[in-house]
Amino acid sequence: DPFLIVVPLAPPFAPKTDMSGFAQQSAARARGLATSKIAEAEKLQKSWFKTNKNEDAAQLYKEAGHQFKAAKDLQDAGESYVKAAQYFQRADMLGEAAMSFSDAATVLKEVDASEAISAARQAISIYQGQGRFSQAGRLTTLIAEVYEASGDEQQAMENYQEAYEICIADNQPQKAHKWLHKVGDLAVKAAQYQKAGEVFETMADFCLSETRLQQANAKNLYTRAWLCYMVYDSLFGSQKGQEFLEKDYNLAESREGELIREINGAVEAMDEAQFTVAVNVYNEVSRLSPEFISLLLKIREPIEAAAEAAEQDKGAEEDLPDLDAVKIDVADDVLPVNEEGEVDLT
């Protein structure tokens, strides 16, 4: 039939590839290669005739580390990189050693915090000796991140502070203040309000000395510093707030500046109503962040305590009897009285 339309049959569906099985096979091959590299390195160390055996062993351990990393065996990868670094040190190849220690720290931070920190510190020591401060600073922040992830805020702060100082020494102020900001955030979290205030004030002062765009950032940093100082000590905080208003005209003319003036006045007068009005007026336009709310609540605590104490004193006074209305009955045989019935002690 010339009008018969032949529709070709659809090709059979291709079988689905088992990606999980493929990944497992790839990982197994990578582990096998890594194991063979390590065996070759160990055999090499037993040779009496090989002149560059430390360098060659280091390269083999480094390659083993790469293979373990590909297989996602991070612990074995880290240990292989550390071995590579140690052999590079023996071969007096310090740059390569530092890179291998750095590789070890990067993979170990996911599985072994203490070993990651140890490897990073060894790399930092080499980098600082070579004057390579950028690499040293990067690894110092890695240590800080490991401590922060583990919940050790004090150690995290100390290492972010160290990273800040390294970057300042390396003339990288922008990167340095990124790490200093982390110090301030963690100080607030750890309730170290004086330290947090000092950090944010330092950052604000730096912004004021820079470009116009960065000067605009000083306003928020001075406000955070003032809040922290107020929680630490309200009198000191009020003085600092006034200092910041005089130092930064952008702050003085802003809504944040008005908030500082109103809160300082409310705290000085112990006026809870004024405090509440100031916060609500600001919040109507600029929504307060959770951190700001938390700090403002802490600043308000002494005002609330004073108000509660005053209310208790007022209640105690109301409970006292009216002494003018109290009649004292005095028996004649106990105290002498005169004709008018008054006690006569003459």
Residue 271's φ and ψ, nearest 5 degrees, are: -105, 100
151: pLDDT strictly greater than 70: yes
- pLDDT tops 70 at residue 238: yes
**How far apart are the C-alpha atoms of 62 and 84, rounded to whole Å?**
5
pLDDT digits (tens, 9 = 90+) for 190-236: 999 999 999 999 999 999 988 777 888 999 999 999 999 999 999 99
Q: In angstroms, how far apart are the furthest CA atoms of the chain?
A: 149
Average pLDDT, the chain: 86
89-97, long-range: CB < 8 A, 24+ apart: 90/54, 90/58, 91/52, 91/54, 91/55, 91/58, 93/55, 93/58, 94/126, 94/129, 94/130, 95/126, 95/130, 96/58, 97/58, 97/126
Average confidence (pLDDT) over 149-177: 94
Coil, helix or strand at residue 53: helix
Q: Is the pLDDT of residue 1 over 70?
A: no
Q: What phi and psi values does residue 343 have, to the nearest 5 degrees?
A: -70, 130
C-beta separation of 305 from 275 below 8 A: no
More confident residue, 277 or 1: 277
pLDDT tens digits, one per residue of 64-119: 999 999 999 999 999 999 999 999 999 999 999 999 999 999 999 999 999 999 99
- Tell me the H-state helices in the chain: 19-45, 53-70, 74-90, 94-108, 113-129, 133-150, 153-169, 173-189, 193-208, 212-232, 234-247, 249-252, 255-269, 272-285, 290-319
Q: Is the pTM of this model over 0.95?
A: no
Q: Which residues contact 76 (CB under 8 A, 6 or more apart)?
A: 34, 68
